Amino acid sequence: MSIIKKLALVVVSLSLVAVSSVSSAKPFSPKKPVELIIPAGQGGGADEIARLVQGVIEKNDYASKPVIPINKSGGSGGEAMTYVKKKAGDEHTLIITLNNVLTTPVNQPELGIDFFNDFTPLARLITDTFLVWIATEGKNTAGVETFDDFIDLAKGNGLVMGGTGSMSEDELLLGMMRGQFGFDAKYVPYSGGGAVAKGLVGGESDFTLNNPSEQMGFYQSGDSKALVMMTPERNPAFPEVPSSYELGYPDLEYYMMRAFMAPAGIDAEVEKYYTGLLHTVYHDDEFQTFNIDDGKLMSWLEGFGLKDFLAIEYEKHGEIIKNFN
Amino acid sequence: METVGFLLDGIFTSLQWFNLALLIFGCLIGLFVGAMPGLGSVNGVAILIPITFIIPPTAAIIFLAAVYYGAMYGGAISSVMLGIPGASTAVATVFDGRPLAVKGEAMTALTAAAVGSFVGGTVSVILFTLFAPPLAEVALRFNAPETFALMVMAFATFVGLGGDDVPKTIFSILIGLALSTIGLDLITGKPRLIFFNIPGFLHGINFLVLAIGIYGIGEMLWTLEETKGKVQMSKLSVNMKEVGRAFGALKKTIMAMNIGSFLGFFVGILPAAGATPASLMSYGITKQLSKNSKEFGEGVPAGVVAPECANNSASTGSMLPMLTLGIPGSPTTAILLGGMILWGLTPGPLLFTQEPEFVWGLIGSLYIANFFTLVLNIALIPAFLMVLRIPFAILAPVIFVLCVTGGYAPTQSLHDVWLMLLFGFAGYILRKLDYPVAPAVLSIVLGPLAEKALRQSLILSDGSMGIFFDVSEKPIAAVIMYIAIVLLIMPAFGPLYRRLFKKKQTA
Amino acid sequence: MSITNKITVKRAEIAVAVILALCSIALMIKSSENRITWNAEENMGAGFLPFYLSLGMLICTILTIIKFVLKRSPQSKDDTPFIDAVAFKFIAVTIISLVVLVLAIGYLGIYFSLIFFLAFYLRYFSEKSIAFITIFAITTPILTFLFFEWMLKIPLPQGVSEPLFYPVYDFMYGGFSFAVKMIFIILTVLLPTALVFLTTRFIK
C-alpha cells in the first residue's frame, strides 16, 4: 500500500468516526492508551511493578495501545479508588493494587467505596511478603540472633519501629504481632520503604517490617539482617532466613498482593482481554526473572479463585483493623 | 585514583557518537519539558523508562541524565521568559529572573542561569568524585531531627524575603504552611482538611498548583491591568554589546556561585531534601550575605545565579542518597531508582564497589550533559528571546493554555486546575494589597518536609522539643538549630544594633 | 459614579482582611475535626498544626484590621480606585473566559474547548484577522495533543469528544512506519504552524 493510500485511509477513518463506534463482532482491543492507576507515589513497590508491566508490554508489543502509569497517591489509595469507582464501565482504566485497597475502604468510610462492587478483579500476578529486619550493628538490638531473641528483647524494652505510614500494612502487622507476642513498639512513620530502610541502618529505628526489595541493598551489604520471613516456606532470594512456619508461628503469615483490577461494569469480553494480556505479561521471561531475583512470589490467580482470595483477605484485614483499634 | 579512572571512562563512553547523539537529543527534550510549566524532569524521565528496555542500559543512563539536566536548565527558561516557574527547582529563579526580563535584560538573566547552572554542575561533580563515600555516611546519619533543624534554617534564611508589612508577611507564610497540611496526615494516617469531602483534596495541594496560579495566572492578570493588553512584554535587543554586558554582569556573582554550588551540593546529598530547598536556601543566604541585599527581588543577576547554581549542584548531589541509600529525593530520582531496579541494579552501599561502571558512567554523563546543555542553552538564547517579541494579546492566551495544562498534568485532575485559577485570582488581589506572595510559595514547598521531620522527631523524643537542642545526643541537629536561631534573630536585631552603633558614632 | 470608582483601595483592604479572617476561622473549625491537642500523654494530633497555623493567620488578619482602624497602613488612607474601569473589564473578561474554559474542559474535553477559548480570546483582545485566529486556534490544540499524548504520553481530559480520538490513536500506535507518521504530522501540523508564523508577519 502506498503512503498516499495509507494517508487516505487515515483521513477516511477520521471522518467515519461516528460509524466506527458502532460495535462489531470483533473481540475487544483497546481503542486508546490504557490508564494504569497506581494508588501510591513514584518509586514504591506498586509503582515499580506498574512500570515493569508497561515496559514489558511496550517492548514486546503485547497490546495494540500503550499502558500509561498514573500515580494517584492521595489518601492511602483513597484518591485512586474514588477515581476508578467514578470510571465505572470505562474500558481503558486499570488499577494495580497494594493492600491499601483492602484497608482504605474500611478506614475511610466517608469515601463510600464498596470493595466488592466497585471493581472488577482481573488477576493477581505476584505476592510480596514481609520480613522482620534489624540493623546488624543496631545499638538496641545487639546480640539478637534469632526471632525468639528479638521477641524477648522487644517485650522488655520499648523498641522503635520504622514504618511506611500510619495504618499501612506494616503498622497493621505490628498490631498483629502485638496481639500474638505481647510486645509493643513506638511506631515512626516515614515516606516510602527506602526511607524506612535508611532509618534503620542510620540508627533511628530498631527494627522494621519491610518488603524484600526495599531492604535488598542493605541486606546485600550486610548492614541489616532479617530474622523471619512471614511465609510458609523459605524464599530462594533469602536462603538463610527462616520462615515463620519453621519457627513455629504459622499465624505470622502475611502477603502484599500485586493484583490488577478494572472498574465495575465492564463487559466480559473486556475482562477477558485484560486478563489475557496480564497472563501474557506474567509468562514473559523478563518479568519472571526480575521478580524472582527480587524475592517476590509469582502467584497467578484469576477468576473465582481470585474472588475468593480477595474476600478472605478483605475479611482478614477488617479483623486486623478491628483488633488494632 | 581509581574513581577518577572510572569517571573518565564514563565521560569517554558518553562521547561515543551514538551516545552523544542520544545525549544531545535528551538535552533538547529535557530543555523543552523543563520549560513547560507543570512538567519537569519527572515527566521526561518517566516516558523514557520504557524506552530504556529497548536501548542498552549505558545508553539509557546517558539519555536519562541528559533529560534530567536539560530539564534543570529548562525550568529557568520559563521562569525568566514567562515568569512561571517551569519546575519546582526554578521557583527561586523567578524572584530575580522575571524582573530582569521585564527590565529588558532577559539576555543577562538567561546567561546568568546557564552559566550558573554549569558552574554548579561542575563543582558538584568534582565534590561527588572526591567525597562520595564519606558524604554517604553523613547522609545516613541525617535523620528526622537534623532534617527539621535544616528546615528551620531554610525558613530563617527567608525572614528578609517578605514585604514591609509584618502581619501580611507572616500571614503569607502561615497560609502557605496551612495549605501544605491539606491531604492525608502521614503520621496518623487520617485525612485532614478535606473540604466538602472533595476527593481531589486527598492528594493535598501540589505546590506547583499554587506557583502556577500565582506566577502564571496572577502575573498575567497583573500585566493585563498594567498594560491594558496593548504593550509587548518587554523590549530587547540581541547584539554583541548585549552579550558582552551579560557576561560582564556575571563577574559580580562569584559569591552567589560559591554559595549556590557548595550549599546546593550539601543540601542535595541529604536524603529527602533535594534541589528545591537547596535552591531556595541558597537564594535566601546569598541575599542575606550580599552587600546590596535590598536590590534582590528587583532583578540582580546574583539572584538568578544562586538558585540556578544550587539546583544543578543539588541534582548531582541527590544522586548520592539515591545510589547509596536507595532514597529518592524527588519524584524524578524515584523513577530513576525504579529504572535502576528494573535494570537489575540494587541501590545500596555496595553499588559503588559492585557496579562502578554504572555509578561513574552516570556521573560522567551527567557532567557531559551539563556541558552540552550549557552550549545548547547559550546557542538557543536568541530563540528563547523570540518569545518576548510575541505581542501580549497572543502570548497571554498561550500562557493560559500552558497554565491549564500545567496545572492538570502533575496530578491528572481537573480539581487542581480549579484550585490554580482560584489561587491565581486570589494571589492577584492580595498582591495588589501588598501581601507578599513569595513566602506562601516557599512555605508550601518546605512545609510538608518540615512537618514530617518535626513529628517524627517528637515521636522519637516522646514529645520533647529538647531533641533539637541536645548537643551531646544529636550534635548535627543542635548546631544547625542554633545557627538557624541566630539567623532568625539577626534581622530583628539588625536595626537595633545599627541604631545603637550610630548613636555611638554621633555621641 | 461607576462601581469601579466605589471600590477604593481602602474599602478593598478592609473587605479582604475581613474575608481572610473569616477564612482563617473556617480553617480553624475544619482543623478541629482532627485532634488538635498536644500533651504529655498523647503525641501531636493531626489537627494541631493546621489549627494553630490558622489561629496565627487569624491573629495576623486582626492585626491588619487594627492597623487599618488606626490608619497605620498605606492602604487605609488610600481613596483611589482599587482598579480602573478599563482594566476591570479586561480582567473580568479574562477570568470569566478561563472559568468557562475549565468548565468546558470537563464536558467537551480540552482540545475542543481550547479552540473556542483561543478564538474568543484572540478576537476580543487582539486585532488579528479571522484567518490568523482560525489557524492559530486550531493549530495550538493539535500541538498540545502531539506534545502531551504522543510525546509525553500524558492523557489530557477528552470528555465527550473521546471517541473522535480513537482513529487518531489507531494511527499513532498502528503498524505504520515512522516515516509515514512523520509525513502525516508534517502535513497536518507543521505546515499550518509554519503558516501561522508566516501570517504573524504578513497578515495583521
What is the average pLDDT score of chain C?
A: 86
Question: What pLDDT sits at residue A21?
Answer: 46
Residue C99 forms contact with B (CB below 8 Å): yes
- Through-space distance between the first and last CA atoms of chain A, rounded to whole angstroms: 68
Chain C touching partners, 3 or more CB pairs below 8 A: A, B
**Chain A contact for B347, CB < 8 A?**
yes
- Contact between B176 and B440 under an 8 Å Cβ cutoff? The reply is yes
Q: Hey, which residues 222-261 in chain B have their CB within 8 Å of chain A? A: none
pLDDT band for position B123 (50/70/90)? very high
Check residue B507 and give its pLDDT.
Answer: 38
Put simply, the answer to whether B171 touches C99 (Cβ < 8 Å) is no
Residue B198's pLDDT band, with cuts at 50, 70 and 90, is: confident
Please give, rounded to a whole number of angstroms, the shortest distance from the CA of C195 to a CA of chain B. 16
Report the pLDDT value the prediction gives residue C201, as an integer from 0 to 100. 61
DSSP string, A107-146: H-GGG---TTTSEEEEEEEEEEE-EEEEETT-SSSTT--S
How many domains in chain B? 1
Nearest-by-Cβ selection for C95 from B47, B425, B459: B425
Cβ–Cβ below 8 Å for B50 and A58 = yes
Q: Look at residue A172 in the predicted model and tell me its pLDDT.
A: 87
pLDDT tens digits, B255-305: 899 999 999 998 888 876 678 888 888 998 888 888 877 788 888 899 999
Kindly determine whether residue C149 and residue A7, on different chains, have CB atoms separated by under 8 Å.
no
Contact A75 B53 (CB under 8 A): no
Q: In this predicted model, what pLDDT tens digit does every residue of B325-383 receive, in sequence order?
A: 877 767 778 778 877 877 778 888 888 888 888 888 888 888 888 888 899 888 888 88
Residue of C nearest to A3 (CA): C180
Q: Which of B47, B414, B455 sits opposite C44 (nearest CB)?
A: B455
Q: Which residue does chain A place closest to B329, by CA atoms?
A: A195
Mind telling me how many Å the CA of B413 is from chain A's nearest CA? 10
C124 touching A, CB under 8 A?
Answer: no
Residue B184: pLDDT band (50, 70, 90) is confident
| Smallest Cα distance from B388 to chain A, Å | 35
Q: What is the pLDDT of residue A120?
A: 94
> What is the residue whose three cell numbers read 505476592?
A127
Amino acid at A211: N
Q: Specify the CATH superfamily of domain A131-229.
A: Periplasmic binding protein-like II (3.40.190.10)
Q: Which of A39, A127, A33 is nearest to A85 (CA)?
A: A39
Whether residue B110 has pLDDT greater than 50: yes
Q: In chain A, which residues have pLDDT < 50? A: 1, 12, 14-24
Touching chains, A (3+ CB pairs < 8 A):
B, C
Nearest residue of B to residue C124, measured between CA atoms? B393
Q: Is the dihedral of CA B34, B40, B45, B50 positive or negative?
A: negative
**Chain A: nearest CA to B174, how far in angstroms?**
23
Judging contacts by C-beta atoms under 8 Å, the chain B residues touching residue A47 are 334, 338
pLDDT of residue A6: 54
Q: What is the pLDDT of residue B235?
A: 55
Residues of chain C with C-beta less than 8 angstroms from the C-beta of A66: 153, 173
Contact between B140 and A202 using a beta-carbon 8 Å cutoff: yes
Using CB atoms, list chains with 3+ pairs below 8 Å to chain B.
Answer: A, C
Give yes or no for C180 touching A (CB within 8 A).
yes
State the span(s) of chain A assigned CATH 3.40.190.10.
131-229
Size of the A and B interface in Cβ pairs below 8 Å: 162
Under the banding of pLDDT at 50, 70 and 90, the label for residue B120 is: very high
Query: pLDDT tier at B400 (50, 70, 90 boundaries)?
Result: very high
B185–C46 CB contact, under 8 Å: yes
Q: How many CB pairs under 8 A join A and C?
A: 52
> What is the per-residue pLDDT across A138-175, written as a single tens digit (0 to 9) for each?
888 888 899 999 999 988 888 999 988 777 888 888 88
Whether C136 and chain B come into contact, CB under 8 Å, resolves to: yes
Contact B327 A195 (CB under 8 A): yes
Is 60 exceeded by the pLDDT of residue B409?
Answer: yes
Domain range for B119? 2-506
Predicted ipTM beyond 0.95: no
Q: How far is A67 from chain C (nearest CA, A)?
A: 9
Could you give the 3-state DSSP secondary structure of residue B272? Answer: coil
Whether residues A74 and B184 touch (CB distance < 8 A) is answered with yes
Residues comprising chain A, all counted: 325
Q: Which residue of chain C comes nearest to A31, CA vs CA?
A: C166
**What Cα–Cα distance (Å) separates residue C37 from each residue in A187, B188, B438, B453?**
19, 13, 31, 19
B52 to chain A: which residues are within 8 Å by CB? 55
Q: How far is A35 from chain C (nearest CA, A)?
A: 8
What pLDDT is attached to residue A20?
Answer: 44
For residue C183, the chain A residues in CB contact (below 8 A) are: 3, 7
CB-nearest to B342 from A66, A198, A290 is A290
A58-74 exposure pattern, b = at least 16 Cβ within 10 A, e = fewer: beeebbebbbbbbbbbb
CA angle B271, B187, A39 (to 5 degrees): 80
3-state secondary structure B390-419: CCHHHHHHHHHHHHHHHHHCCCCCHHHHHH
Chain B residue closest in CA terms to A71: B411
User: Does C102 contact B425 at a Cβ distance shorter than 8 Å?
Assistant: no
The correct answer on CATH 3.30.1600.10 for the domain covering A30-128+255-324 is: no
Strands, E assignment, A171-324: 185-189, 207-210, 224-229, 255-263, 297-302
Inter-chain touch B193–C30, beta carbons under 8 Å: yes
Size of interface B-C (CB pairs under 8 A): 164
Q: Which of B164, B169, B171, B411 to mutate to test the interface with C (most CBs of C within 10 A)?
A: B171
Contact check, Cβ <8 Å, A43/B337: yes
| pLDDT band of B395, cuts 50, 70, 90 | confident
State the average pLDDT over residues B477-498: 76
Q: Where are the domains of chain C?
A: 3-77, 85-202
- State which H helix or E strand residue B493 sits in: helix B475-506
Distance of alpha carbon A153 from alpha carbon A147, whole angstroms: 10
Q: How would residue C17 be classed by pLDDT, with cut points 50, 70 and 90?
A: very high
- Which letter does DSSP use for residue B465 in this model? G
Contact A145, A182 (CB under 8 A): no
pLDDT value for B160: 61
Closest-CA residue to B101 (of B84, B121, B119, B120)? B84
| Residue from the list B36, B229, B417 with its beta carbon closest to the beta carbon of C102 | B417
**Coil, helix or strand for A89?**
coil
Q: Which residues of A touch C (CB under 8 A)?
A: 3, 6-7, 10, 13-14, 16-18, 20-21, 31-33, 35, 64-66, 68, 70
Q: Distance from B89 to chain C by nearest Cα, in Å?
A: 20
Cross-strand partners of C143: none
pLDDT at B6 over 90: no
Most C CBs within 10 Å, among A2, A4, A6, to test the C interface: A6
What is the phi/psi pair of residue A185, to 5°? -145, 160
pLDDT value of residue B410: 82
B342, A48 Cβ separation under 8 angstroms: yes
What pLDDT is recorded for position A277? 95
Cβ proximity of B243 and B52 under 8 Å: no
- CB < 8 Å to B144, chain A: 188, 204
pLDDT tens digits along C140-195: 898 899 888 887 888 899 989 999 999 888 888 877 777 887 888 777 777 767 77
Q: Which of A17, A66, A68 sits opposite C164 (nearest CB)?
A: A17
Please report which residue ranges of B54-188 form alpha helices under DSSP H: 57-81, 91-102, 106-141, 144-156, 166-180
How confident is the model over B208-250, as pLDDT tens digits?
Answer: 889 889 988 998 898 888 877 565 555 555 666 777 777 888 8
The C-alpha angle with vertex A285 and arms to A283 and A290, in degrees rounded to 5, equals 105
| CA-closest candidate to residue A185, choices A198, A195, A170, A201 | A170
